[in-house]
Amino acid sequence: MESPIESYLRTLHAEIREMKNGTPYSAVPAMADVDPDNFGICLATVDGYVYEVGDTRKKFTLQSISKPFTYALALEDLGLEAVDRKVDVEPSGNSFTEISLAEGTGRPANAMINAGALAATGLIKGSGGRTSIKRIISTYSDFAGRDLAASERIFQAELRKSDRNHALAYLLSSFDIIEDNPTSVLEDYLRQCSVQVTCRDLSIMAATLANAGHNPLTDKQVVDIGTVERVLSVMMTSGMYDDAGAWVSNVGMPAKSGVGGGTIAVLPGQVGLAVFSPPLDEHGASVRGLATCQQLSTEMEMHFVRSARAGRNAIRASYDITDAPSGIRRNEEAAGSLSEHGHRARVIELNGDLLFAGTESMVREISSLNNDVELVILDLRRVDEVGGVALRMLSRIEKSLAAAGRELVLIDGEGTLAGAFADAGHEVPAFESRTASVEFAENRLISKYGNGLNLPGCVPVVDSPALSPLNPHDAEALAARMEPKTYDDGDIVRRVGQRFGGVFFIVSGRISTIATGPHRQRVKLTTLGPGMTFGELALGSEDRQETTEKADGPVELMVLSADAIDELKAADPRLAVELWMALTRDAYTRVDQYLRETAVRIRD
């Protein structure tokens, strides 16, 4: 199934592609011939999954997007104090080409404007046989997860048009902000701006910042968390230059734009966003890049205020119902049908918050399911907060599943999501417990694939699965010693703590097995139907009933009482042994089923 995030991004891409205002950067002729219709969007998660739409593999130059990454390398080399002596961290409120140097000291306002970027580049020294520019480009490559290189053609073109930056470099040198040859520093700066990337590369670079400096593709720690903290702080306040205030208010993510048409935005702990579109506004930022970031922030709730909690994978466990059945004891034919087709129903347990990151991991898990999974059961009982983005994405998922003849099922104790679906005119099956939801799925599969099989309405005691090892004569002899009993809906048949009262065979109707939870709440464990038994397990619990058995609608039973069993042992010891062997086998089958379910539940 296609991810609703991918379909959303395609819709967003098609909508914003119609924006035709803005013009590509023309100050450098070599950059002016770019196709203004180029437009790509990439979202890279902190575990390395990338969503791509549009022109995401076309190369363009980093330009000013190089600035935060060179600043990061300077911080790694020298530390905060040494870098702060050369470059301040205050927003300038000016265009990126403004001088913005502190009176007296000549210190640039921040590392995102050209003056500050030149100062940061001047702090990078050669090391280990590598020149300063090779170290800079190597760091960019580590952020991107692949080898990058500068465009010599763009570098030479920029060098011919670099008078203002050249003047800035010499001015910084006059204040000893740049201590090396200012022309060499300028050339390094222009080469770093000329490094070629794709939109996908930028998204991984942004995701590495979002992931506390750890590249999610290569597993390499590129820079430490202290460096990331400083870089993202400066990007938040100064990355968008004289438009920074509006950006923080409307988008709310640390970001950086470049005149090559690229834009990156970082949602710490969750995702890196990259957009490529050459037409620029009056601030030198991509028109479509700004619009994309703003719309994504609003509709996917990516503003830092809404997404304040660190993102994590919301998937606690994922398994099909054959690994964790409902506990209802089926007849042989129905059990065989479930064994063959149980993989068509899958339980996905969620935890944490369903904000952007949690929603993304949930959507990815559901979208990656095999097409033969017909029932998707979402267990929401451990979810703390459900954002609007989760409701919208789940609505898309439900529609996509329904269109393919598949079904979404909720385990939603508080009914929050079920109510939201109902308000939107979509009735989604919802249950309070996993057992009830899996029972629903099992019945669906049996009805569809079992040739009409289901729990039969009536099973004579001689046909009970528990007595199947016995020959017909022995089964009839046992039935003759039983007493019929009937109960109405809600009647308690056996109460927890009662002494062993015999073996109860269900002829018709259903029995709910109820236990007491850790907070004294009543928890439904299983549902028993015709042909099934209860009561015998009390013999393994000091002759005490461990659960309460309650009639779920009218029930007809046949009871082999404790007294009848004692009489059987005295009158026909062989048959008594056959009975206990059959019951032991049946009990073992149930315990094995419970252990398999428990193993699935605790493995994560």
Residue 604: pLDDT band (50, 70, 90) is: very low
Average pLDDT, the chain: 88
**What is the per-residue pLDDT for 8?**
95
**What is the per-residue pLDDT for 102?**
73
Q: What percent of the chain has pLDDT over 90?
A: 62
- Annotate 377-423 with DSSP letters as a single string: EEEEEEEEEE-HHHHHHHHHHHHHHHHTT-EEEEE-TT-HHHHHHHH
- The residue ranking higher by pLDDT, 433 or 98, is 433
Tokens, residue 9: 């991004």
**What is the per-residue pLDDT for 196?**
98
Do 583 and 503 touch, CB atoms closer than 8 A? yes
What is the C-alpha radius of gyration for the chain, rounded to an integer number of angstroms? 34
**What is the per-residue pLDDT for 603?**
43
Q: What is the pLDDT of residues 456-500, one digit of tens each?
A: 678 899 988 888 889 999 999 999 999 999 999 999 999 988 888
Q: What is the pLDDT of residues 433-447, one digit of tens each?
A: 788 889 889 989 988
**What is the per-residue pLDDT for 327?**
65
- Parse the chain into domains and list their residue ranges: 4-299, 335-449, 461-602
Whole-prediction pTM value?
0.75
Residue 304 has pLDDT above 50, yes or no: yes
The helix/strand/coil state of 327 is coil
Which segment of 154-163, 284-293, 544-553 scores lowest on mean pLDDT? 544-553
Residue 532: pLDDT band (50, 70, 90) is: confident
Average pLDDT over residues 401-417: 85
Residue 528 has pLDDT above 90, yes or no: no
Average pLDDT over residues 108-121: 95
Which segment of 32-46, 112-126, 380-394, 411-425 scores lowest on mean pLDDT? 411-425
**What is the per-residue pLDDT for 206?**
98
Same fold: 4-299 with 335-449: no
Average pLDDT over residues 113-123: 96
Token pair 């600043």: residue: 71
55-59, 491-495, 547-551: range with highest mean pLDDT: 55-59
Which segment of 30-39, 101-110, 413-422, 460-469 scores lowest on mean pLDDT? 413-422
149 vs 383: CA distance, rounded Å: 45
What superfamily would CATH give domain 335-449?
STAS domain (3.30.750.24)
- The residue ranking higher by pLDDT, 333 or 138, is 138
The answer for residues whose C-beta is within 8 angstroms of residue 72's C-beta and 6 or more apart is 139, 223, 227, 228, 231
Q: What is the pLDDT of residues 198-240, one digit of tens each?
A: 999 999 999 999 999 999 999 999 999 999 999 999 999 998 8
Residue 351 has pLDDT above 60, yes or no: yes
**What is the per-residue pLDDT for 553?**
92
For 372, counting Cβ atoms within 10 Å of its Cβ (0-12 exposed, 13-18 middle, 19+ buried), the class is exposed
Q: What is the pLDDT of residues 149-164, one digit of tens each?
A: 999 999 999 999 899 9
**What is the per-residue pLDDT for 260?**
96
Fold entry, domain 4-299: Beta-lactamase (3.40.710)
Average pLDDT over residues 277-304: 93
Residue 288 has pLDDT above 80, yes or no: yes
Fold entry, domain 461-602: Jelly Rolls (2.60.120)
**What is the per-residue pLDDT for 601?**
45
